[in-house]
């Protein structure tokens, strides 16, 4: 136990602290931008990032992973904030946490394998598109100067790292362009125009909502969506960190940890969050491996806000927009284009439908659910292809069944026989087939009965053992062996 704590916390102290500081700097603009997407004050995202990161560093299942306020969650909660306000968001956040703790206890992480990769690819692409679209109102058609600042920000972010890597380029862009904007006194909207930054630690309070059944009905659909989206992104991120560090992690513990972090953040005025792909990759690349890196990221962020809060509100919006465009470019899966060409047609459709539904509804969870259902339908229709060929062998009728016989393929199966024959010996060969359920057995029974009506003798051959077992369990024809 002590050894484990030592290893997870203090085996990589120097690199963990440095990586945590880098992540904290990268977190600030994102936490502010995601607050704006959700429609709340920047403090709600900043408090959430502080509390979630610090909590998850103790209770999470994946050391070295960064969790905080995220775009995926902000997008889901935006309609709730618009219609009912911040207090309902906080209650929804607490409820999200409770649901995620349940997910962890019930070991829902295992179900992740039922989510096809086409849906996951669609999920990240839709997320990237939505983050980009959320930036559009903040820079399109405002002023030429706004376009200029966005362009210069992107230029700094993408070109500078080729020559100079010690300080993260987005931070350089933010500091230098904020300084230029302040010095030249240009007309640009700033973060301060969109909300207040309070230079104090978060405080515990109980959200001011009526504790009624009606309130539950309002927040529950949002909480379920948030819990699903949060778990999905967290488990994907955990798999990425697992692979980067070549280590294992406890996915159910991570789910419980996300839940605990969300419950706590809700009581301290923060919005629901989850693991962040981009930030976790930055952390690992910067050398962060242990729980200490996540802890430093959260606490250093809070320290910066308390010390530098006045400067943070001076950041021009177009600079923040530039940083968020970078985030959306980084989130998008650019290999999707080759995937669309190479993957089976049905997978490509599932991916596009997932993206389409998310973009249309602004809700990542709806896209994921639709994608999973669609790919299940594709799977069933693919696997239900069944062919029956008729052969004459020694002047006797022989039917050869190929494919899976179950509820979705019984209709094709029944249509394949010629029931007009009389007084024949008929054999049905199941060597290349498998019987899955009672409707399949019922279909076979019906074929036998129909043949027998016209005085034919039917013989079933080639059933494998599991098929035989299920056949004998459900059949009415006890004379078949």
Partner 1 sequence: MYNKLLLAVDGSENSLRATEEAVKIAHLCTECSIDVVFVADHSKTKSEVLHAQGKEELNYERRKKILPVESNLQENKISYTLYMLHGDPGSIIVEHANNESIDMVILGSRGLNALQEMVLGSVSHKVMKGAESPVLIVK
Residue 152 has, within 13 A of its CA and on its CB side, a CA count of: 18
The token duo for 413 is 């199966």
Contact letters for partner 1, residues 232-261 (x by CB under 8 A)? ----x--xx-xxxxx---------------
Q: Are 359 and 129 in contact (CB under 8 A)?
A: yes
Among residues 281, 348, 359, 372, the one that binds partner 1 under rule CB under 8 A: 281
Q: Does residue 120 interact with partner 1 by CB under 8 A?
A: yes
Nearer to partner 1, 211 or 334 (CB): 334
Among residues 37, 109, 284, 319, the one that binds partner 1 under rule CB under 8 A: 284
Nearest to 174 by CA among 66, 40, 312: 312
Q: Are 62 and 254 in contact (CB under 8 A)?
A: yes
DSSP-derived secondary structure letter, 398: E
Pairwise CA distance, residues 76 & 379, whole Å: 29
Nearer to partner 1, 243 or 418 (CB): 243
Among residues 3, 4, 83, 113, the one that binds partner 1 under rule CB under 8 A: 113
Nearer to partner 1, 128 or 463 (CB): 128
Q: Does residue 121 interact with partner 1 by CB under 8 A?
A: yes
Contact letters for partner 1, residues 185-224 (x by CB under 8 A)? ----------------------------------------
Pairwise CA distance, residues 297 & 403, whole Å: 55
Stretch of 119-127, 196-204, 251-259, 408-416 lying at the interface with partner 1 (CB under 8 A): 119-127
DSSP-derived secondary structure letter, 111: G
Q: Does residue 277 interact with partner 1 by CB under 8 A?
A: yes
Binding to partner 1 (CB under 8 A) within 162-181 occurs at: 162
CB 261, min distance to partner 1, A: 23
Task: Beginning with the edge strand found earlier in the chain, give each strand of the sheet holding 387-393 in spatial order.
Answer: 387-393, 396-405, 425-435, 457-461
Question: Helix, strand, or coil here: 68?
Answer: strand
Stretch of 37-45, 69-77, 278-286, 385-393 lying at the interface with partner 1 (CB under 8 A): 278-286
CB 169, min distance to partner 1, A: 14
The token duo for 480 is 């078949």
For strand 274-275 and strand 387-393, is the pairing parallel, antiparallel, or unpaired? unpaired
Please provide the DSSP assignment of 406-441 as one string: STTTHHHHHHT--TT--S-EEEEEEEEEEE-SHHHH
Binding to partner 1 (CB under 8 A) within 298-327 occurs at: none
Q: Are 275 and 74 in contact (CB under 8 A)?
A: no
Q: Does residue 14 interact with partner 1 by CB under 8 A?
A: no
Stretch of 170-178, 197-205, 277-285, 308-316 lying at the interface with partner 1 (CB under 8 A): 277-285
Where do contacts with partner 1 occur on this chain (CB under 8 A)?
113, 116-117, 120-121, 124, 162, 236, 239-240, 242-246, 277, 281, 284-285, 333-335, 339
């Amino acid at each position: 136990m002590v050894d484990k704590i030592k290893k997870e916390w203090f085996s990589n102290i120097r690199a963990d602290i440095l990586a945590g500081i880098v992540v904290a700097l990268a977190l600030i603009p994102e936490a502010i931008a995601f607050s704006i997407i959700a429609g709340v004050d920047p403090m709600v995202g900043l408090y959430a990032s502080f509390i979630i990161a610090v909590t998850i560093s103790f209770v999470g299942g994946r050391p070295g992973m960064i969790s905080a306020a995220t775009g995926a969650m902000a997008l889901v909660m935006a309609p709730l904030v618009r219609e009912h306000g911040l207090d309902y968001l906080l209650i929804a956040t607490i409820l999200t946490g409770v649901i995620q703790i349940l997910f962890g206890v019930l070991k829902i992480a295992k179900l992740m394998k039922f989510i096809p990769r086409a849906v996951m690819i669609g999920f990240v692409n839709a997320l990237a598109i939505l983050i980009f679209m959320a930036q559009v109102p903040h820079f399109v058609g405002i002023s030429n100067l706004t376009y200029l600042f966005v362009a210069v920000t992107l230029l700094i972010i993408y070109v500078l790292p080729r020559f100079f890597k010690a300080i993260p380029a987005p931070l350089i862009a933010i500091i230098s362009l904020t300084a230029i904007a302040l010095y030249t006194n240009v007309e640009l909207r700033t973060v301060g125009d969109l909300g207040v930054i309070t230079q104090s630690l978060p405080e515990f309070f109980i959200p001011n909502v009526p504790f009624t059944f009606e309130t539950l009905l309002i927040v529950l659909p949002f909480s379920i969506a948030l819990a699903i989206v949060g778990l999905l992104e967290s488990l994907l991120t955990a798999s990425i960190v697992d692979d980067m560090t070549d280590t294992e992690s406890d996915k159910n513990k991570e789910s419980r940890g996300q839940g605990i972090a969300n419950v706590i953040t809700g009581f301290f005025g923060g919005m629901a969050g989850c693991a962040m792909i981009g930030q976790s990759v930055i952390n690992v690349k910067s050398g962060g491996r242990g729980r200490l890196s996540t802890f430093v990221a959260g606490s250093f962020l809070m320290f910066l806000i308390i010390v530098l809060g006045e400067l943070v509100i001076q950041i021009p919006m177009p600079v923040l927009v530039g940083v968020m465009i970078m985030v959306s470019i980084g989130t998008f899966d650019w290999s999707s284009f080759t995937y669309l060409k190479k993957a089976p047609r049905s997978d490509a459709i599932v991916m596009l439908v997932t993206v389409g539904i998310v973009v249309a509804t602004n809700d990542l969870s709806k896209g994921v659910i639709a994608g999973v259902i669609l790919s299940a339908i594709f799977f069933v229709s693919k696997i239900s292809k069944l062919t029956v060929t008729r052969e004459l062998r020694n002047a006797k009728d022989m039917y050869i069944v190929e494919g899976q016989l179950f509820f979705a393929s019984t209709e094709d199966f029944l249509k394949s026989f010629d029931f007009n024959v009389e007084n024949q010996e008929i054999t049905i060969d199941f060597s290349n087939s498998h019987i899955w359920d009672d409707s399949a057995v019922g279909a076979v029974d019906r074929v036998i009965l129909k043949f027998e009506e016209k005085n034919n003798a039917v013989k079933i051959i080639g059933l494998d053992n599991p098929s035989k077992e299920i056949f004998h369990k459900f059949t009415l024809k006890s004379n078949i062996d």
